C-alpha cells in the first residue's frame, strides 16, 4: 500500500509490544489474510463496532488492502465494473465517485461511450488508492481501535473455552475472541511450476516480439495478461486454452436498468433457464439488453443457489458455470472490442480443450500438452512462455484449512468450492449451525453462496459480518458485559 495504516507496520510475531486485549478490556479479533476481503472487513468493523477493538491481521506479504486484484495492477488496467457499482461502504453508494472527483481522477476514467463518470471504467490503481485512504481514515476515526499487522502465516486455529488460540509459522501463539478468515482465493494454481505469473510484469521480459505465448484459461486474468503483452510491444501469436474456449462478454455501452426476472419457486436448472429465456424476451421487448437480466439477478444468486439440491448444483457447475461466468464477469466495452479485433485478425487463437501438463523443452521454451474438446487425441505445442490463468480457487487444502476441518471448525462443501457459511460469512459446523465467533469470508464461501467474489458482494458481506459482531457485543454487554 502507499502508506502504512496507523499501527500497521508489519511486525514479526516476536515484536508484539504488549499483550493483546482480552475480554473485559475490549474485543480481540484476528483477521487471517490481508487482501481486499480483509480490507473490506476491517473498514466495516471500524465503522460498525463502537467497542474497543484490537485487530490482529496476519498476512505473510506484510501488505494490507490490495491483494491479488489490486496489489500489482498498473494504471493501464481498468476495473471490470462501472465506477458507481464499487466502493467500500454499502451505505454510501457514491463514495467512490466523490473520491474520484475530489482526487482529480475524473480525467483518467474511461467511458464506454462518452457517458458519465458514474458509468465509466476507471483504472484499478485508483480503486486501490481509494481503499487505502478509506482504511486510513476509518481506523483513525474509530478512536479505540488498535490495528496490528504481522508478516506471518497462521498455521493452526484452536477453539478454547474463551475464544481461540492461533499458532503462526514461526511457532508464536496469539489469542483472539473472534477469528475472521479473509484469505480470498488462497494459492494460485500453477501447471507444474513452469508457468509465469500473469500479474508479475517481469515475467514478460525477454520475450521475442514475434514469439509465441500460451495462456491456460480464457477469463479475466488471461485478458489482463494479453493486454500487458500488447502494451509491451509483443506482436507474436497468442493461444488461449480453456475447457469451453469462451471469452468474457462485454458490458453494455451504457449502464442498463436492472431487470429482475421472476424466479419464485424454481428449484431446478431447467426451470431457471426457462424463466431466464422468458425474461430475456420481455426485457428485449422493452428495449433492454441481456446485461440487464444478469445484473438484476446478482442480489438473488445466493438464494437461488441454496434452493437447488446438490444434484442440480452439480449440473450447473458441470454444464453451465462457464457460460454464466462469461456473462456475469464482463469486461469494459472498449476491451471487448480489442478482443474481437485480436480474434478476427488471428492474433489470438481460442482453443476449447483440457491441458494435461506443461514441461520445459530441451531446445528452449515450454511444451503444452492438451486435448481439444472435439477429440480424444492429445496434441503438443511449443511456446516461448506460458501463463496459468485458469482461475484461482479458495485454498481448502492448505495447512491451516486442513487443521480447522480436522477439528470440526470448518466444513468443506461437497463441490470443493469453499466452506459452508451463512450469508454473513459465519462458518457452519457439522450440524449446520453457524458460529458467532468464526467467519470464512469472501471467496471462501463460494460453495454456499456461489457469487461472493466480486467487490460488491464482498463489501456487502463484510458489512453484514461487522454489524452482526456489533450486535453480538452489545447484547452480551447488556447481559453480563460478555465478550467485550
Per-residue pLDDT tens digits for 13-64:
444 333 333 444 589 999 999 999 999 999 999 999 988 899 999 999 888 8
CB crowding 343-373: b at 16 or more within 10 Å, else e: eeeeebebbbbebeebeeeeeebbbbebeee
143 confidence band (pLDDT: 50, 70, 90):
confident
Query: Which CATH superfamily does the domain covering 201-249+331-388 fall into?
Result: FAD/NAD(P)-binding domain (3.50.50.60)
Residue 148 grid coordinates: 496490528
Q: How far apart are the first and last CA of the chain?
A: 31
Report the percentage of the chain scoring pLDDT > 70.
87
Domain ranges of the chain: 13-187+394-480, 201-249+331-388, 269-328
Question: Residue 86 pLDDT > 80, yes or no?
Answer: yes
Q: What is the pTM of this model?
A: 0.89
Spatial contact of 365 and 195, defined as CB atoms under 8 Å apart: no
Query: What integer is the mean pLDDT of 431-435?
Result: 88
User: pLDDT grade, residue 76 (50/70/90)?
Assistant: confident
Mean pLDDT of the chain: 88
Residue 155: per-residue pLDDT: 96
Q: What is the pLDDT of residues 319-371, one digit of tens each?
A: 999 999 999 999 999 999 999 999 999 999 999 999 999 999 999 999 999 99
Q: What's the 3-state SS for the chain?
A: CCCCCCCCCCECHHHCCCCCCCCCCCEEEEEECCCHHHHHHHHHHHHHCCCCEEEEEECCCCCCCCHHHHCCCCCCCECCCCHHHCCCCCCCCCHHHHHHHHCCCHHHCECCCCCCCCCCECEHHHHHHHHHHHHHHHHHHHCCEEEEEECCCEEEEEECCCCEEEEECCCCEEEECEEEECCCCCCCCCCCCCCECCCCHHHHCCCCCCCEEEEECCCHHHHHHHHHHHHCCCCCEEEEEECCCCCCCECCCCCCCCCCCCCCCCCCHHHHHHHHHHHHHHHHHCCCCHHHHHHHHHHHHHHHHHHCCHHHHHHHHHHHHHHHHHHHCCECHHHHHHHHHHHHHCCEEEEEEEEEEEEECCCCCEEEEEEECCCCCCEEEEECEEEECCCCCCCCCCHHHHHHHHCCCCCECCCCCCECECCCCEEECCCCCEEEEEEECHHHHHHHHCCCCCHHHHHHHHHHHHHHHHHHHHHHHHHHCCCC
Quick one: pLDDT at residue 24? 46
pLDDT of 110: 65
Q: What is the pLDDT at residue 264? A: 85
Provide the pLDDT for residue 74: 60
Cβ neighbours around 233 below 10 Å, total: 9
**Residue-wise pLDDT tens digits, 434-466:** 999 999 999 999 999 999 999 999 999 999 999
Share above pLDDT 90 across residues of the chain, in percent, rounded to a whole number: 70
Q: Is the pLDDT of residue 484 over 50?
A: no
Query: What was the pLDDT predicted at 429?
Result: 82
Question: What per-residue confidence (pLDDT) applies to 160?
Answer: 93
Over residues 161-182, the pLDDT tens digits come to 889 999 999 999 999 999 999 9
Instruction: Report pLDDT for 112.
Output: 53
CATH class assigned to 13-187+394-480:
alpha beta
- Indicate if the pLDDT at residue 69 is higher than 70: no
Residues 299-317, mean pLDDT to the nearest whole number: 93
CA distance 133 to 428: 34
All three cell numbers of 386: 506460458
Burial class (CB in 10 A: 0-12, 13-18, 19+), 483: buried
The answer on pLDDT for 277 being more than 70 is yes
The answer to which of 138-147, 269-278, 472-481 has the lowest mean pLDDT is: 472-481
Measured in residues, the chain has a length of: 484
CA distance 23 to 45: 17
CA distance linking residue 97 with residue 317, whole number of Å: 36
| pLDDT at position 307 | 92
Q: What is the pLDDT of residue 91?
A: 94
Residue 480: pLDDT band (50, 70, 90) is: low
Looking at residue 187, what is its pLDDT?
Answer: 45
Q: Tell me if 301 sits within 8 A of 423, measured CB to CB.
A: no
pLDDT at 7 over 90: no
Average pLDDT rounded to a whole number, residues 223-246: 96
Amino acid at each position: 500500500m502507499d502508506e502504512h495504516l496507523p499501527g500497521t507496520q508489519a511486525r514479526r510475531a516476536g515484536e508484539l509490544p504488549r499483550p493483546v486485549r482480552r475480554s473485559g478490556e475490549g474485543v480481540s479479533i484476528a483477521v487471517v489474510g490481508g487482501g481486499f476481503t480483509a480490507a473490506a472487513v476491517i473498514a466495516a468493523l471500524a465503522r460498525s463496532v463502537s467497542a474497543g477493538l484490537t485487530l490482529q491481521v496476519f498476512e505473510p506479504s506484510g501488505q494490507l488492502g490490495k491483494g491479488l486484484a489490486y496489489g500489482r495492477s498498473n494504471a493501464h488496467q481498468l476495473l471490470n465494473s462501472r465506477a458507481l457499482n464499487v466502493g467500500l461502504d454499502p451505505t454510501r453508494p457514491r463514495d467512490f465517485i466523490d473520491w474520484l472527483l475530489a482526487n482529480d481522477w475524473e480525467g483518467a476514467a474511461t467511458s464506454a461511450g462518452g457517458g458519465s463518470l458514474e458509468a465509466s471504467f476507471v483504472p484499478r490503481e485508483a480503486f486501490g488508492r481509494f481503499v487505502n485512504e478509506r482504511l486510513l481514515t476509518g481506523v483513525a476515526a474509530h478512536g479505540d481501535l488498535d490495528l496490528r499487522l504481522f508478516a506471518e502465516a497462521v498455521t493452526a486455529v484452536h477453539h478454547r473455552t474463551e475464544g481461540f488460540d492461533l499458532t503462526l509459522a514461526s511457532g508464536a501463539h496469539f489469542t483472539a475472541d473472534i477469528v475472521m478468515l479473509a484469505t480470498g482465493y488462497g494459492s494460485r494454481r500453477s501447471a507444474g511450476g513452469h508457468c509465469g505469473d500473469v500479474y508479475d510484469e517481469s515475467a514478460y521480459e525477454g520475450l521475442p516480439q514475434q514469439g509465441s505465448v500460451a495462456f491456460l484459461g480464457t477469463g479475466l486474468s488471461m485478458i489482463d495478461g494479453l493486454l500487458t503483452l500488447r502494451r509491451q510491444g509483443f506482436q507474436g501469436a497468442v493461444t488461449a486454452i480453456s475447457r469451453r474456449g469462451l471469452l468474457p462478454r462485454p458490458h453494455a455501452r451504457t449502464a442498463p436498468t436492472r431487470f429482475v426476472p421472476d424466479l419464485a419457486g424454481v428449484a431446478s436448472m431447467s426451470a431457471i433457464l426457462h424463466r431466464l429465456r422468458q425474461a430475456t424476451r420481455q426485457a428485449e421487448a422493452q428495449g433492454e439488453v441481456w446485461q440487464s437480466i444478469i445484473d438484476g439477478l446478482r442480489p438473488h444468486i445466493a438464494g437461488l443457489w441454496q434452493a437447488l439440491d446438490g444434484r442440480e448444483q452439480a449440473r450447473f457447475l458441470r454444464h453451465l458455470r462457464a457460460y454464466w461466468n462469461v456473462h456475469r464477469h464482463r469486461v469494459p466495452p472498449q476491451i471487448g472490442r480489442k478482443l474481437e479485433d485480436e480474434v478476427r485478425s488471428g492474433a489470438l487463437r481460442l482453443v476449447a480443450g483440457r491441458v494435461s501438463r506443461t514441461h520445459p523443452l530441451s531446445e528452449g521454451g515450454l511444451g503444452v500438452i492438451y486435448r481439444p474438446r472435439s477429440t480424444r487425441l492429445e496434441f503438443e505445442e511449443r511456446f516461448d512462455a506460458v501463463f496459468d490463468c485458469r482461475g484461482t480457487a479458495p485454498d481448502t487444502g492448505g495447512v491451516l484449512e486442513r487443521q480447522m476441518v480436522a477439528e470440526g471448525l470448518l466444513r468443506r462443501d461437497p463441490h470443493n468450492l469453499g466452506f459452508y457459511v451463512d450469508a454473513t460469512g459465519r462458518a457452519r459446523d457439522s450440524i449446520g449451525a453457524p458460529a458467532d465467533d468464526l467467519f470464512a469470508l469472501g471467496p471462501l464461501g463460494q460453495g454456499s453462496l456461489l457469487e461472493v467474489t466480486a467487490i460488491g458482494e464482498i463489501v456487502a458481506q463484510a458489512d453484514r459480518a461487522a454489524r452482526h459482531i456489533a450486535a453480538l457485543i452489545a447484547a452480551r454487554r447488556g447481559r453480563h458485559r460478555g465478550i467485550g
